[in-house]
Structure 1
């Protein structure tokens, strides 16, 4: 009896290790998208760039992510999940080196675009690999590792920005070896990018990919390590659901009428709502946002780091409960919480006064209410739509269409992220913060009904039975 328990424990430890290695892609995804937060002002000064050029330098990386996400599924199905991770690791490393060496706004934008391709690829490969290598009873928690890795990546990037900026005096000032601080912000990404590639080379290939390639003995050895005991029955199950005669195609996502399958539309809906509630406005523009309501630069950076820490704590809550309560209840609770907190921020910012210079000011308790509402909003997103979207996207599609459907859903997510991120500055400029948060409140309210009517629970169901 003890040996069975011990074997199960060692199997679980092994699965956590390989899922953790894959989730390093999520860490870099978070790190790469957030590291620019502390460097934006310094970059536009260093390259003498106007607001449009600076905006594109930030947001074009997101369109690169859409392209990376779209093609990652094809690459992962043709060459394997592990090789796709190694390619992403190389792109992350080159992008980090190049961004720090940038000589003008356009070559800098090119290096960021390369990083974007890697981010997009990592956003697809990690959830697919984790879902395919996890035992059913652990799949929700391990799938949530992707979101935990993303939020830890965001937190560490903002922390690096904070310490480098504070040590140098500002992001523009010289730091080590007299090189500008903002360049070092990008170079801090090099060690985790290299580590990701090394970790990818040490983990086994996905058993579902191996079966699809006809490499069943290898698949059996991987499954034995993951599940313990005899893996032959599981291989037979996978064989029944994987079409071995050809690579999955995007045409597999189309129904008889020629339109996308309903399940693909639901995946796209999940992806879009995860962005339309405005979460990335908090992470890309938080220092700008808090400065807009009268915080100093240092206080804004501190607040941003605190918010990122709140995000980590709440993601840990999601990991604890996603396999217990299921996916759907967490999404419903999150949507309701976001409606209340975003609604509060809308009300506070709509009634905020302008000072003589035309800047928004929050008087008395209004500033505290806005700060609390913002952090409670991150809390509500962090235990629900943040991690659960990735868990569902990794497991809601059947084996035949998983990689292709995940690619489409993740690519659309990046396009939605791009749309929300690029529309925030003009909405802020012409209509005010109240209007921006009003739009995100409406999106959160619609997301509640979307989950209620369209999302099916996947807790405890084998991937082969989706």
Structure 2
């Protein structure tokens, strides 16, 4: 289809439309987020069993849990350059293959170091998916609906977390415990990993049928294909004008490299630092402690394994509800206000968790129990934290990372920001067992401090991107006028 015929076929429609096709391809791309959530949290229900089977101490347990995140950082770092060279779709297929191999390898691991290797392989897929999905959705979505469609990535992530925790609970309950024998004489915790092969295969199959990003196609000179995607999926009323806008912002992309991110302020452009800091604060508030260690955490305060797994699953349901709320609000309220509310709410709820655990009583076996009413306070505060995160920082950071970078540096800048996010995720997850040995009050107090700092950061530096075209991001400035939108 030529650009002229596409433009003519669009008629006089004054605004972009949201059609089922763009929703469909956005959902398909976001399945990578589902695997992202599943892969990173599936170890939650297996921590105690594999720790016992491989006789792991606290340090090695923390490293085994967080090892996938090392692969995430590497996968995120290289995903941008691979996507620029080969396209968004091939990188999605590669990520699906990595998920599949990791699921089988982790389930059949014969030792902790073998398990760590397979978890790192899965992490490579998670890192790649964390970059490609938000970039792809941002590039195919109409500006008016980009916040909602971009939030599908986070919805998919929390659904993946929920399904992982639910499948862990079902497998452990059916087997009589995560360390007990399940199907075909294989331990239940091993099946928790291997079940991921099913959605990985589905993701790879769906990716093969997705249209390539129009911005990538224009960069490659495939204007007719790009025109068809813009007209059929994005609902662009003036395809010719849109293509010229994209061309203008891609003029320098042929020589794009990490050197294009270099600036005068601490070595990087201010907009790149903005993306990095958004990524860091999203993790430094400690959200993934809840999803990686929640089963162990609730067991430590007196829940048995089945109760702890059920509580963790309930928390993940709260996260899904929170993300749906975010999707309904993001294009109406805007990104900046929601982040400010989220930071304040997280700081208060984390402070309450720190206070509650200060009343913990250590048993002879080293376990901690909370007297009433502090056990209830801790449970409510933890779920409040998840709600505040899930309605704001969880989905909106991914939306902003897909939006804030100019076209010419988007893939590379997003890769750097995502790599920073995974590095922070690893640092928080690996350090939690050690921090919890010092004291849960200290750990959650530290996360509350980072939540308070994120409030200051958003107020001073984060701009509003609601309703802005991606092609307008070249003129984005981190000033008070841009923050007001």
In the superposition, the TM-score normalised over structure 2's length comes to: 0.92
Q: Check conservation: 1:91, 1:118, Cα contact below 8 A.
A: yes
Counterpart of 1:380 (choices 375, 388, 393) is 388
Deviation at 1:64, TM superposition (A): 0.7
| Alignment-derived partner of residue 423 in structure 1 | 431
Q: Which secondary structure does the structure 1 equivalent of 2:322 belong to?
A: helix
Give the aligned CA root-mean-square deviation in angstroms: 1.9
Residue 348 (structure 1) aligned to one of 334, 341, 356: 356
Larger deviation: 172-181 or 52-61? 52-61
Q: 1:7 to 1:89 in 2, by over 3 A?
A: farther
Q: CA deviation at 1:31?
A: 0.2
Q: Is it true that 1:82 corresponds to 2:107 in the alignment?
A: no
Instruction: Name 1:19's counterpart in structure 2.
Output: 26
Counterpart secondary structure, 1:42: helix
1:161-310 aligned at under 5 Å gives the runs: 161-225=168-232, 226-243=234-251, 246-256=254-264, 259-310=267-318
2:146 aligns with 139
* CA 1:316–1:4: 2 relative to 1, 3 Å: farther
Q: Tell me how many residue pairs correspond in the alignment.
A: 463
SS of alignment partner, residue 133 of structure 2: helix
Whether the aligned pair in 1 keeps the contact of 2:16 and 2:237 (CA below 8 Å) is: no
The runs of 5 or more residues in structure 1 that have no matched partner are none
Name which of structure 1's ranges 328-337 and 257-266 shifts more when overlaid on structure 2: 257-266
Residues 77, 247 of structure 1: 8 Å contact kept: no
Residue 329 of structure 1, aligned match among 319, 329, 337: 337
Contact 1:47–1:103 (CA<8 Å) still a contact in 2? no
CA–CA distance in 1 between the matches of 2:98 and 2:333?
Answer: 38
Cα distance between partner residues in 2 of 1:215 and 1:298: 55
Residue pair 1:212, 1:244 contacting (<8 A) in 2 also: no
Deviations 1:112-148 (CA, angstroms, capped at 9, x unpaired)? 1100000000000000000000001110000100000
Deviations 1:436-456 (A, max 9, x none): 111011101110010000000
* 2:416 is the counterpart of 1:408: yes
Q: How does 1:10-89 map to 2 (within 5 A)?
A: 12-89=19-96
> For 2:28 and 2:222, how far apart are their aligned partners in 1?
23
> How many Å separate the matches in 1 of 2:364 and 2:320?
39
Partner of 2:112: 105
Quote the offset at 1:49 in angstroms. Answer: 3.9
8 Å CA contact 1:315, 1:383 repeated in 2: yes
Shift of 1:295: 1.5
For 1:395 and 1:8, locate their aligned partners in 2 and report how far apart those are by CA, in whole Å: 20
What is the distance in 1 between the residues matched to 2:253 and 2:44?
47
The separation in 1 between residues aligned to 2:147 and 2:253, in whole angstroms, is 31
Structure 2 unaligned runs (5+)?
A: 1-9, 474-485
TM-score (normalised: structure 1)? 0.96
| Counterpart Cα distance in 2 of 1:242 and 1:43 | 49
- Aligned-pair distance for 1:247? 4.2
Whole-angstrom CA distance in 2 between matches of 1:95 and 1:245: 34
